[in-house]
Every structure is written in structure tokens, then in C-alpha cells.
Amino acid sequence: MRKIRVGLLCGGRSAEHEVSLQSAKNVIDAIDRDKYEVVLIGIDRSGRWSLGDSAEFLLNAHDPKLIALNKMSEGISLAPGTMSNQLISQSTHLPTGAIDVIFPILHGPFGEDGTIQGLAKLANIPFVGAGVLGSAVAMDKDVMKRLLREAGIPTPDFVTFNRSQKEQIHFEEIRERLGMPCFIKPANLGSSIGITRAKDLTQFEAGIKEAFLHDRKILVETNIQGREIECAVLGNSNPMASALGEVLPSHEFYSYEAKYIDENGATLIIPAELPDDLTTRMRALAVETYQVLDCEGMARVDFFLRGEREVLVNEINTIPGFTKISMYPKLWEASGISYEELIDRLIQLALERFEEEQELET
């Protein structure tokens, strides 16, 4: 049988470039080579696509701070349309091959936010993970939280400001509405980049400034004192929920440093120690959240648990961290699905959705 050619997209323009490279390395190491052939596509910080050699595509692979794409070879683009050789060499302008499915391991804007998904759709190539809408909605914390609220799914109270509304951000008003400390976040990012926790006016003003460096829209959120519980979801129309995991950050919160730089920045506890009935309720809520936000393929739903039983949805990640030691794969491992099998299932889900879409009348 001919192998399925998987276009693995990694790197990317977002601030989560390095995280993506680490995930891609793990996927390359684990993917079933009897069934799949990896076509590695590295995206540099300027957004340029190049074909890479999956054996030596990384520099400093073991240092999360210095990890980088190796010098890539051929610049390529993806051509729209329904022909079968969608990868075009930028130097010769000739087709350089076909890919059967795209596996985007790109976090944040230009990867997780619907843009790559739109490009894959235009090129008529199946792709792993949420579609254009689900990706975009899940990326934008403001829209995501409004949809959750509309569905009656609890999420921390928040206010949103656009760049043009800067003059309307008043510390005292926000303190009255949300209390202090509060969290200040760019609407569209991830990995805690640009997120700060503010206790007083000085920190608040610095936080607003910081968040606006990363996005034109920001959120100020009420602080939830509680536990951080996560659930992995997998599937298209009948998604399933994994065991639950708990994140115990050793920093003030689950910051970028705690996530990726400090080896002891956080402890993951799988399965989370919770009463059975609460676990059942949270797993059901994870699936509901997934469906409300129009997700497919995979996503990780992150909760806050306040007190003994109050559950709030913090956010959903449509391309969660995917290294072997990341929460998403570990949750599936604890639920009986190995890393290798998870990759296989995700690709199959992508192909299934594509086939269903092809059957639709246009």
C-alpha cells in the first residue's frame, strides 16, 4: 500500500515558534513510518515555507530557548485548486510533490487561528484539527468566552478593550467590577505570552501596555483562585473526553517560563485527584465546550476548579502542546491511547472529515 504523505507544518510566525518545533520533533520521532511518510515543511519567523529534511531540521533540539529551524532547503508554496501537486517550488515554479494530509503543529496566530486551515481548504488538502471557524473562535479569547456565556457554560467574568478604547480603561472601575488581582491578556495568543497578573494600579497599567504590544484587542479577567484542571478531547461529530489532568504551577501562575523554560515550572498530575461524579461532570463539560466552539479533530479544554465543586472553563486550545511530555498526549496515554496511536487517529479523523466534505454538493 502506498504510504500516506503527511505534510508536517512546524515553526511559524507566532511567538510560539519554539514550542512548535519541539512538538514537531516528537511527532517525527513517533509517527508510524510503515503507514506514513513525513514531508517536513518548516515555516520561518517571516512566514516563509521551506521543505526540510526531517532527520536534521533542528538546531539545538534539546534546549527550549535555543531550539531553531536548521537551514532549510527549497522555498515552497501551496497552490490553491484541486489538482494533486499542490506544493510548488519557489525557485523553479514547478510542482515538488503532493501531500495527502496536512498536520499543522503550529501554535498561536498564523497556525492555530484558522489561517493555515483556510489555506489548506483552498488547496483542497485534508488537515488535522479544527476547521476554519472552530480554530478562529478558539483562538480569540473574547469571542470564545462570549460563545461559552451564551451556551450557559461558566467562564471567568471579563471585559474586552480594543486599541481604540484605551482611554476607557479605568483601573478603579475595573477593580470594582472584577476585583483585584486581575489577569490581563491579549485576545489572540497562547503559551501565556503577554499575560500578566495585576494587583495594583502600577502593575495594571504595565499589564495593559504589555498586552497591547501583542494584540489590538485585550481582555481583563477576574482572578480565579482555584485548581487548574485540563481535559483532552478527540473526535469529529462524536468526540470523546480523556481522563483529567491537573497542572500545579510552581510560579505565581502558569506563565511562559513555567510552561517551557523552567524544568520544574509545573507539575502535571494525571489523573487529577477528584471525586468521580465531578470528573464525570467535567468530562461532559469538556465535550460540550468543544462542540459549542465548533471544534473537530482535537482540542484541550482547560478548567478552573474553585472551591470544591465550582467549575469554570478558562479556555480551549485547538492545537495543544504536542511534545511527548505535554498534557494533551499524556492525558490520552492515561486513557489508553499511546502517542503513536494518537497521531494515527488524528490523521484518520482529518481524512474522514475531508471525505464527508467531498460528498457534499457544491
Q: Is 188 in the site for ligand ADP (CB under 6 A)?
A: no
Query: Least Å distance between CB 221 and ligand ADP?
Result: 4
Q: Binder to ligand ADP among 22, 54, 135, 192 (CB under 6 A)?
A: 192
262, burial (CB in 10 Å: exposed 0-12, middle 13-18, buried 19+): middle
Nearer to ligand ADP, 188 or 242 (CB): 188
Question: How many angstroms separate the first and last alpha carbons of the chain?
Answer: 31
The answer to whether residues 236 and 353 touch, using CB atoms and an 8 Å cutoff, is: yes
Question: Segment contacting ligand ADP (CB under 6 A): 81-89, 122-130, 205-213, 247-255?
Answer: 247-255
Give the pairing of strands 101-105 and 4-11. Answer: parallel
Query: Which residues, in sequence order, are bridge partners of residue 59?
Result: 68
Q: Which three cell numbers stand for residue 271?
A: 489523573
Question: Segment contacting ligand ADP (CB under 6 A): 8-16, 181-189, 230-238, 286-294?
Answer: 181-189
Query: Which residues, in sequence order, are bridge partners of residue 158?
Result: 221
Residues numbered 254 to 293 that lie near ligand ADP (CB under 6 A) are: 254
The site string for ligand ADP over 137-176 (x = CB under 6 A, - otherwise) reads -------------------x--------------------
Which parts of 196-273 are beta strand (E)?
196-198, 217-222, 227-235, 240-249, 266-269
CA distance 41 to 53: 9
The answer to whether residues 162 and 216 touch, using CB atoms and an 8 Å cutoff, is: yes
Residues numbered 103 to 122 that lie near ligand ADP (CB under 6 A) are: none
Q: Is 125 in the site for ligand ADP (CB under 6 A)?
A: no
Q: Binder to ligand ADP among 224, 232, 233, 346 (CB under 6 A)?
A: 224
CA distance 190 to 259: 11
Q: Is 318 in the site for ligand ADP (CB under 6 A)?
A: no
Question: Segment contacting ligand ADP (CB under 6 A): 8-16, 170-178, 216-224, 350-358?
Answer: 216-224
CA distance 134 to 52: 29
CA distance 305 to 226: 5
Residues numbered 227 to 246 that lie near ligand ADP (CB under 6 A) are: 228
CA distance 174 to 157: 11
Give the residue at shortest CB distance from ligand ADP.
Answer: 254
In a 3-state reduction of DSSP, which class is residue 254?
coil
Query: Least Å distance between CB 58 and ligand ADP?
Result: 24
Site residue total, ligand ADP (CB under 6 A)? 19
Q: Binder to ligand ADP among 16, 210, 315, 344 (CB under 6 A)?
A: 315
Give the binding site for ligand ADP (CB under 6 A).
Answer: 156, 183, 185, 189-192, 195, 221-224, 228, 249, 253-254, 302, 314-315
